Chains A and B, each alone.
Chain A
């Protein structure tokens, strides 16, 4: 158990809908990262938050957004869903925002299926 929790574990929805994925980092970690794992794209970095502020964006679509709250949990919002958004979404956390020894620990993931 990494200490990172994600809810829900599974999510099934229809095209055009909007969903929210939730992540709670390990106790004491200030950084939260979101990744998408799909069969065709592999594991792709989406976005990084540190202590409530956005730090870096990766291959995140404009239909997707995220935020990190004062209690450090994070939410990833996916809207106008398309079939191609079906994937496993991982959250990871780390103590700080980088540096040689900073290590990212991953949650169990949320499997999103868009029908």
Chain B
């Protein structure tokens, strides 16, 4: 079946540290891949996406590259800020009729000054 596995949190970093949140997927067909972010008390916001292999999604200093050979879509940021503290969700969508998003369990990031 189709599924997403994320590294367990919480991830705790100091400000300006490098961030990696691992995400791997299992999918039938060719998925589109997404990172969503949920700030405390808020809904989900699309952070970035990639729709085919080797695409790199980027936004607000975050990046993720769609790696078909390793079935991965790891989220990275070179220098995190306190305001990046949130829960990050990796998700996939299989194109071709069944349009639901399949989410990972989420990874909580806490950034300290």
Contacts and interface: CB of A to CB of B under 8 A. Distances in A.
Interface of A: 2, 31, 33, 35, 42-43, 45, 48, 55-56, 58, 90, 92, 94, 97-109
Contact of A104 (B51, B52, B101): B101
Interface string B40-82: 0011111001011000000000000000000000000000000
Interface of B: 32, 34, 36, 42-46, 49, 51-52, 89, 93, 95-106
Contact of A106 (B43, B96, B97): B43
A43 B102 CA distance: 8
A90 B99 contact: no
Given A45-B100, A100-B51, A107 B43 contact: yes
A42 B103 contact: yes
B43 A109 contact: yes
A51 B47 CA distance: 26
A14 B45 CA distance: 31
Contacts, number: 61
B100 A106 contact: no
Given A90-B43, A106-B44, A108-B42, A42 B106 contact: yes
Contacts of A92: 44, 101
Contact of A98 (B44, B99, B105): B99
B9 to A, nearest CB: 13
A105 B46 contact: yes
Contact of A100 (B43, B95, B98): B95
Nearest to B106: A42
B68 to A, nearest CB: 14
25 contacts: A31-B99, A35-B101, A42-B104, A42-B105, A42-B106, A43-B89, A43-B101, A48-B99, A55-B99, A56-B99, A56-B100, A58-B100, A90-B43, A94-B99, A97-B99, A98-B93, A98-B97, A98-B99, A100-B32, A100-B52, A101-B51, A104-B46, A104-B101, A106-B45, A108-B42
